[in-house]
Chains A and B, each alone.
Chain A
Amino acid sequence: MSNDARTQQEDAYLALQSTDEFQALRKKFRGYVFPMTGFFLVWYFVYVLLSIFATDFMGTKIAGSNITVGLIFGLGQFVTTFAITFMYSRWATREFDPAADALGAKLDGVKEH
């Protein structure tokens, strides 16, 4: 590609990056994935810390069975992992993709090569 094409392409990216729509998209994405990441990391490490420092609590049997509090918490990690996967996927398909695709389409007018 020629230098002119390169510059034109770069200008298009810079221009798009500074638009309000793009900044809103960026905020939308980070506003979802950052808190979610914070949540699952905190919940995971709380679970790890409980498992090594609160063994008596985690070893408490529930209702006379051999199912312990620790097992329920561990299965809870599976449940939250599955739930976050499901929720993120639904959010991304419904909320994020249409906005991202619309912005990406704006760039298609710019010659690629």
Chain B
Amino acid sequence: MALTLLPAADAATSVGTPALNIGIFAAFVVVTLVIVIRVASGKKTAEQYYTAAGAFNGRQNGIAIAGDYLSAASFLGIAGAIALQGYDGFLYSIGFLVAWLVALLLVAELLRNTGRFTMADVLSYRLKQRPVRIATAISVIAVSFFYLLAQMAGAGGLVSLLLGVSGEAAQNLVIAIVGIIMIAYVLIGGMKGTTWVQIIKAVLLITGTFVMTVWVLGKYGFNLSGLFQAAADNSPKAGEKLFEPGLKYGKNMTTKIDFISLSMALVLGTAGLPHVLQRFYTVPTSKQARKSVEWAIWLIGGFYLLTLVVGYGAAALVGPTAINAAPGKANSAAPLLAYELGGSVLLGLISGVAFATILAVVAGLTITTSATFAHDLYKEVFKRGQTTQEQEVRVARIAAVVIGAVAILGGIFAKNQNIAFLVALAFAVAASANLPTILYSLFWKGFNTRGALFSIYGGLVSSIVLIVFSPVVSGKAPVAPATVSASMITDPTVDFHWFPLDNPGLVSIPLAFFLGWLGSVTSKEHNAAKYAEMEVRALTGHGVAEAIDH
């Protein structure tokens, strides 16, 4: 997402009362931990840990999906992008919403009917178990790792503004604390506890944003056009260009094609994000999975409409000069607006919610990734299915701790990086490596193991290689007044990029679809019985109950 996180250069620019911000965040942590401990009682089976044994209903799960999806990057990043780039920020949010129709129409219900714990359950259903599970696990881990890193880096970048912590060591400490609390949620609560954290967070986030929206609109007599005018008047550089597309993506042909590439990754990536897919297993039936997506679409769509007002409101009431001067730059637009409207108290609430957001999203990612380690790699591949539930859950917990540690270290390492490319990369890899295989295996009779391996590895490798040799990693010209390169590698003399676009989707997504087809038609493997079983179960929902109370 369009986030630019800079290292905290100036401690004096923090706003509000840090003690109050910390207090509200601490209160959230205490309340949610108590809830997690309360709901976590009972037996710890693999079902409980990975999917809360499908015990949630569609509405609860839909709210939790919104909580999972509306990450700090959505809330702070999109509001900031709209404040600074106007229409182009709004354009960004639309891809994130429309993407849910892929999940609703093509993926959620069929996936719920044919899988049980992980994405690999579905992909390996009628193919050769071991190679497909290994490939899927690698792709799941890659996508989740980039997503996780982005969230943790976001946590570090926000600290300077929200908590008034600006030293290198203090920021690292905050990242470590966020990581440790997250591990506690996952270990104590499993999927059930994590889901409740996401539900609470979603309600707080949407309520807080709703209050800010009404407040902003109230200041302009509920006249949207008046708000826009005020935003343009307060943006000397952009002016009325805020109302039309082009500020960010319209610079030249490369940025235009880049946006097409990004749009493809956004719209096709969501239904391939492992932590989103995992959520469909927390409900008992495909009908509830459908209901989950319906709720998620209403909430996420409604939320993005609110961000439109919050973003223009930040431009009108805070202004781009103040936003760019703040430590978190675009990320600080929403918190600064909160301070402008409601002083320290509202800023404290919004900051608390922003941290809660990071915590909840990171916990969801950790559950999914640990499930992949324990269920796909340890149980199905390493132990060839011969293991007890206790062993499997124990491995999952160890994996969660390791993933938490990696997230903390990664967050510390990446905290000064532009996190936009990490999230975009996660979506691009998900759209390239995961989605083609999911769609082929649900809808195409002729799909087989070679097709799956070609598509997963082809999508994964091509998207990552293209990113490495893109301008995001090296070779971007410095943006005045900075003298360092705007790429990840800030030394302007290092330049090994040859792929012109920031986003790989335009090439890697069609390539992965093509490789999936090519692999399948060159291999004779076809398991008619398994295909019949999968198709019948996918459409009729037969055998789902059996999968739950095994």
A positions within 8 Å CB-CB of B: 9-10, 13-14, 16-17, 22, 25-26, 29-30, 33, 36-37, 40-41, 44-45, 47-49, 51-53, 55-56, 58-59, 61, 65-68, 70-71, 74, 77-78, 81-82, 84-85, 88-89, 92-93, 97, 100-101, 103-104, 107-108, 112
Contacts and interface: CB of A to CB of B under 8 A. Distances in A.
Nearest to B544: A104
Q: How large is the interface on B (under 10, 10 to 19, 20 to 34, 35 or more residues)?
A: 35 or more
B259 interface: yes
Nearest to A16: B536
B97 interface: yes
Contacts, number: 152
A17 B536 contact: yes
6 contacts: A17-B536, A37-B106, A66-B232, A81-B98, A85-B294, A100-B541
B223 to A, nearest CB: 9
Interface in B228-264: 228-229, 232, 240, 243-246, 249-250, 256, 259-260, 263
B386 interface: no
A89 B289 CA distance: 11
Interface of B: 87, 90-91, 94-95, 97-98, 100-102, 104-106, 224-225, 228-229, 232, 240, 243-246, 249-250, 256, 259-260, 263, 267, 287, 290-291, 293-294, 297-298, 301, 304-305, 443, 528-530, 532-533, 535-537, 539-543, 546
B91 A37 contact: no
Contacts of A17: 532, 535-536
B111 to A, nearest CB: 14
A47 to B, nearest CB: 7
A112 B546 contact: yes
B104 A78 contact: no
Contact of B535 (A26, A45, A77): A26
B305 A10 contact: no
Given A41-B267, A78-B305, A66 B228 contact: yes
Contacts of B91: 48, 51, 74
A88 B105 contact: yes
Contacts of A66: 224-225, 228-229, 232, 240, 243
